[in-house]
Amino acid sequence: MIKKTISQTGLTDVLLKEKQLYKPSAKTLKMAKIKNVPATLKAAQKDPLKFWEEAATELEWFAPWKKVFEDRHKPFYEWFVGGKCNIVHNALDRHMDTPVEKKTAILWESDAGKHRQFTYRQLHTAVNKMANGLKMLGVKKGDRVATYLQNIPEAAITMLACAKIGAIHSVVYAGFSGNALATRLKDGRVKVLVTSNVGHRRGKVIDMKTVCDDALKQCHFVKKMIVVRQNDDLVKMKRNRDFFYHDLVDPQSDICKTVPVDSEHPLFILYTSGTTGTPKGIIHVHGGYMVGVNRSFQWAFDIRGDETYWCTADPGWITGHSYIVYAPLMAGITTLMFEGVPDYPRPDRIWKIVEKYKVNILYTAPTLIRALMRYGEQWPKKHDLSSLHLLGSVGEPINPEAWRWYHKNIGHGKCPIIDTWWQTETGMFMITPLPATPLKSGSATFPFPGIEVDVVDSKGNSAPAGKGGFLVIKNQWPSMLRGVYKDPARYKKTYWNKIKGVYFTGDLAHRDKDGYFWIQGRSDDVLSIAGHRIGSAEIESALVSHPAVVEAGVIGKPDEIKGERAKAFVILKKKYKLSESLIAELKKHVRSELGPIAVPSELEFVEKLPKTRSGKIMRRVLKAQELGEKLGDVSTLAD
Ligand code: WTA
């Protein structure tokens, strides 16, 4: 169902006022791979298959494809049909015995400021050993291996080791609770889980192993658990099920053959929130994914091969998959991984790291920029940020104020801001400037070459300039999702049957008279809290699973820092009385069902919830009432 209207997102006015053009600097233009953006867009639009085929030749294949694109089984599209490849061959193997081998692949800094690094050769060895370790535990091509790890090198090593042997990784964000982890393990029928004994955050030690032990009580099909030791604390290990990472991996051979897989062989499953209580397992495959991710990274971030690059995301989200691990390694550059948080121990942590490692490209999220903006510009001023030449943004619309702060105080007016719009499902950037694109603060500018994007009404008619509508993608692209794991019907219904013939993104947008796209948030009941996608329905079902709750309706409210926060309207069972302690208990319950990111910041107890005659909660009515907006069409309201 399409529920929000453009005015309800509250962003239109700010965005419409903001039309100032930022031209690329002479230096940016000089460096730019693509100097004539309009001509490049036009050529790719004329023949997208030619464009993608050319992009595919930049990578190595074990056997060439017979057909670039196949749409026989719409909407189950295939790319590079008949080709044999493996993304790990492109991310690691092909760099061996070349000058890249000696370069730093991963730079890592811990929460406490400890440092580790891997050259490409060392990473290759570490991945081979882990792949052999997985094989020893019985992992075979097509098996699912889950990780529940913080941002540590072993997270990347495990992903690569799985891909290398044709196993499918399912990375679960380490901020999720044991229950949320179990839901994902069950859906993927996971064979092996990789975790660490503890994690670190803001100087505190977080117990990770116990969360996994709890999850595995519900998941007996998970036969083995691999535990990375992060400190010397005593760890309770289950015999024949649990293995310490180093005990398993260190004795392994450092030789492991990369398995050639079909282009369409699944690379990973990544769960993301939708409009129902169950997350969707989004499937990506080796061939098309590597092509889309590589080309988009190389072009949008103008990669020359000698950069130190830092994406502040977590490997638990798509940004971590595509643009912390796979794209930078395929490009042979240095990718920085950071375990900690941006304002610990002081609000300049992030700027300190940029200075220390001489980061050239910083890719982060608007929520982080807004949070750091609040501490003031004296913090970035303490550091030499002159190594930066390009800035990126992702996750939610960047408001013009944050855009300008980032541009002035971090980029010193010289770095282009590449605002990349994309999704777990798209695998790669879909709307993004290239460095030579003139920018408007707050707009993601134009579609990536080869991608056809439109703003339409509910019947699929293109909206005129300035008028809002549904953001859709009108053609196919190589790194598109290949489905929802074990649920083809949901795949069709969610993405292809909402508006006929096009991919439905779920976002609202408009295009201005110059053709710039302005993203305005979601049209459905999916919240974006600090850039994390979470469904209203998921939070509601977590609340309803508490014995005191009869029913709950959850909406998103604007939040200055996080973009959005959740408010829950709750109907209590008669025998329960409203109290501070009950509120605290319900919050705790959501935390244990889903994890801290899903906890509503506000709870309101109500007698009744607005519903349709068929009994569905009308969240948009709750939201309009809460924000003092017009109710809109309430003809389906029951009461
Ligand atoms: C939102 C994250 C505006 C959007 C890569 C999308 C954005 C959802 C932007 C996907 C952006 C992401 N400007 N909105 N630059 N990037 N979004 O799957 O609503 O975690 O549908 O992927 O984030 O979130 P996901």
Q: CA 549 from chain center: how many Å?
A: 32
- Note whether 156 and 192 are within 8 A (CB): no
The closest-lying atom of ligand 1 relative to the alpha carbon of residue 526 is 19
Task: Tell me the DSSP string of 397-465.
Answer: PPPHHHHHHIIIIISTTTS-EEEEB--TTT-S-SB---TTSPEETT--BSBPTT--EEEE-TTSPBPPT
CA distance 552 to 536: 10
Above 90 in pLDDT, residue 232? yes
Above 50 in pLDDT, residue 197? yes
Above 90 in pLDDT, residue 506? yes
Beta-strand pair 168-171/266-272: parallel
Q: CA 639 from chain center: how many Å?
A: 40
Residue 224 in any domain: the answer is: yes
- What is the total count of domains within the chain? 2
Q: Letter for the amino acid at 559?
A: D
For ligand 1, the distance from its centroid to the CA atom of residue 316, given in whole angstroms, is: 15
Name which residue sits closest to atom 4 of ligand 1, judged by CA: 396
Residue 487 in any domain: the answer is: no
Confidence (pLDDT) at 93: 98
Above 90 in pLDDT, residue 177? yes
Chain-wide mean pLDDT for the chain? 94
Mean pLDDT on 239-244: 98
Residue 540 in any domain: the answer is: yes
Confidence (pLDDT) at 496: 97
Q: Quick one: pLDDT band at residue 6, thresholds 50, 70, 90?
A: very low
The domain spanning residue 577 has which CATH number? 3.30.300.30
Above 70 in pLDDT, residue 2? no
Q: What is the pLDDT of residues 66-95, one digit of tens each?
A: 999 999 999 999 999 999 999 999 999 999
Above 50 in pLDDT, residue 13? no
Above 70 in pLDDT, residue 7? no
Q: Identify which of 271, 439, 507 to mutate to test ligand 1's pocket (most ligand atoms within 8 A of the CB).
A: 507
For ligand 1, the distance from its centroid to the CA atom of residue 617, given in whole angstroms, is: 25
Above 50 in pLDDT, residue 1? no
The closest-lying atom of ligand 1 relative to the alpha carbon of residue 432 is 15
Confidence (pLDDT) at 19: 58
Residue 465 in any domain: the answer is: no
Above 90 in pLDDT, residue 247? yes
Q: What is the pLDDT of residues 292-349, one digit of tens each?
A: 999 999 999 999 999 999 999 999 999 999 999 999 999 999 999 999 999 999 999 9
Above 70 in pLDDT, residue 11? no
For ligand 1, the distance from its centroid to the CA atom of residue 423, given in whole angstroms, is: 5
Q: What is the pLDDT of residues 145-173, one digit of tens each?
A: 999 999 999 999 999 999 999 999 999 99
Residue 583 CB contacts under 8 Å (≥ 6 apart), including other chains:
603
Residue 495 in any domain: the answer is: no
Above 50 in pLDDT, residue 490? yes
Confidence (pLDDT) at 47: 98
Name which residue sits closest to atom 11 of ligand 1, judged by CA: 421
Least confident of 41-55, 111-125, 263-277, 355-369: 263-277
**Enclosing domain of residue 537:** 526-627
Name which residue sits closest to atom 13 of ligand 1, judged by CA: 397
Cis before 99? omega within 30? no
- Note whether 382 and 353 are within 8 A (CB): no
Confidence (pLDDT) at 53: 98
Q: What is the pLDDT of residues 362-420, one digit of tens each?
A: 999 999 999 999 999 999 999 999 999 999 999 999 989 999 999 999 999 999 999 99
Choose the final residue of a domain: 212, 228, 259: 259
Q: Quick one: pLDDT band at residue 14, thresholds 50, 70, 90?
A: very low
Mean pLDDT on 534-544: 91
CA distance 462 to 600: 37
Query: Which has the closest alpha carbon to 537: 568, 564, 501, 508?
Result: 568
- Could you tell me the maximum CA-CA distance found in the chain, to the nearest angstrom? 72
Above 60 in pLDDT, residue 104? yes
For ligand 1, the distance from its centroid to the CA atom of residue 533, given in whole angstroms, is: 8
Above 90 in pLDDT, residue 288? yes
Pocket residues for ligand 1 (CB within 6 Å)? 272, 317-319, 393-397, 419-424, 444, 505-507, 519, 522, 528, 533
Residue 15 in any domain: the answer is: no
Choose the final residue of a domain: 244, 259, 274: 259
Q: What is the pLDDT of residues 556-608, one digit of tens each?
A: 999 999 999 999 999 999 899 889 999 999 999 999 999 999 999 999 999 99
In percent, how much of the chain has pLDDT > 90?
A: 88
pTM passes above 0.85: yes
Choose the final residue of a domain: 259, 281, 313: 259
Name which residue sits closest to atom 8 of ligand 1, judged by CA: 423
Residue 358 CB contacts under 8 Å (≥ 6 apart), including other chains:
308, 387
Residue 394 in any domain: the answer is: no
Residue 561 in any domain: the answer is: yes
Q: 634 - beta bridge partners? A: none
Helix (H) or strand (E) holding 181: helix 178-188
The closest-lying atom of ligand 1 relative to the alpha carbon of residue 272 is 18
Q: Identify which of 4, 6, 423 to mutate to test ligand 1's pocket (most ligand atoms within 8 A of the CB).
A: 423
Q: What is the number of alpha carbons within 13 Å of residue 462 lying toward its C-beta?
A: 9
For ligand 1, the distance from its centroid to the CA atom of residue 535, given in whole angstroms, is: 14
The domain spanning residue 155 has which CATH number? 3.40.50.980
